[in-house]
Amino acid sequence: MYRKLLTKEFFKDNPYKKISAQRLVYSTLLYRGLENAADDVVLHTLSDERRENIAREKEIILAEKDPEIIFRLLRKNIEAVNRTVLINKALEFEAEILPMVAKKLVRNNHDTFIENAVRLLTWSKDDYTASLRERYSEFLSPYVQSVFCIVLGFRGSEDVIPWMMERFYEMKRRYPNENYDQGPLCALYELNARFYLS
């Protein structure tokens, strides 16, 4: 329906930047198992003491039964190799945690929480993107707006494409010296792959 917007010329004129936070977030969401594989490699390079600390933290996360505590952990700087463990644990309580995540994301500017929230919103069974899209202009941070666009790339319907094009050009215009336009651009690449290349 919107194929004419996502032309070969558009993507030729707007390639990904080789390095950006948004591209990293997109790759993490696209290749979900890659993070686990990387964590396994990293673990083998760490000292015994560090591995023991990671193992203890992992046990605490896995044993936790209180969604409120899991939600609080999403805002903490836990060991990077335990991030997927935490996300999977949070998904066990998504009915309780996702409303809190969606509410907090609108007014948040904490990178760790934002990146955890993006994973949860993309991989959860329940889809909170429609209500968050309505609040897009309320997001405190242009970075949150940018990475939320990536979530919409994975979860949005085909009719989100014109809106996403507007976000791409808006961010490109408003933040010419930043990478915020890369979030909507990644979303457009994903929407194109989902609706027109499969």
Q: Computed over its alpha carbons, how large is the radius of gyration of the chain?
A: 18
Rounded distance, CA 111 to CA 77, Å?
A: 10
Instruction: Give exposure, 75-106, as e/b (b: 16+ Cβ within 10 Å).
Output: eeebbebbbbbbbebbbebbeebbebbbebbe
Side chain identity at 139, as an amino acid letter?
F
- The residue whose two tokens read 């936790």 is 64
Can you tell me the distance from the alpha carbon of 176 to that of 183, in angstroms, rounded to the nearest whole number?
14
Residue 151 scores a pLDDT above 90: yes
Both structure tokens of 42: 């990293």
Quote the pLDDT of residue 21: 93
Q: Is residue 28 scored above 80 in pLDDT? A: yes
DSSP code of residue 76: S
pLDDT in tens, 131-142: 999 999 999 999
pLDDT band at 46 (very low <50, low <70, confident <90, very high): confident
The three-state secondary structure class of 47 is coil
**In this structure, what DSSP letter does residue 181 have?**
T
Sign of CA dihedral 101, 107, 112, 116: positive
- Given a cut of 80, whether residue 43 has pLDDT beyond it is no
Q: Quick check: 51 pLDDT over 90?
A: no
- Per-residue pLDDT tens over the stretch 101-117: 999 999 988 889 999 99
Query: Is the pTM higher than 0.75?
Result: yes
Mean pLDDT of the chain: 92
